[in-house]
Amino acid sequence: MLRSAERIETEANAVDRQISGRDAELTGKIRIAIPGVLATHLLMPGFTEFARANPNI
């Protein structure tokens, strides 16, 4: 019974991690209205890093 209980616990923890991960997953579109000069110099450098960290946005 101990082996069965440990297997069930392992599987339950795996399901919990999958559910939790989906709840926290960031997805969607971001629209920003800003003059081109400001976007180029202030925002674009950070967008590359942001896009790598959040590929579904």
> Which pLDDT score, from 0 to 100, does residue 9 have?
92
Residue 10 confidence class, pLDDT cut points 50, 70, 90: very high
> Which pLDDT score, from 0 to 100, does residue 22 have?
65
Q: What pTM, to 2 d.p., does this model score?
A: 0.44
- What is the Cα–Cα distance from 24 to 12, expressed in whole angstroms? 19
- What is the Cα–Cα distance from 26 to 8, expressed in whole angstroms? 30
| pLDDT at residue 48 is higher than 80 | yes
> Which pLDDT score, from 0 to 100, does residue 47 have?
84
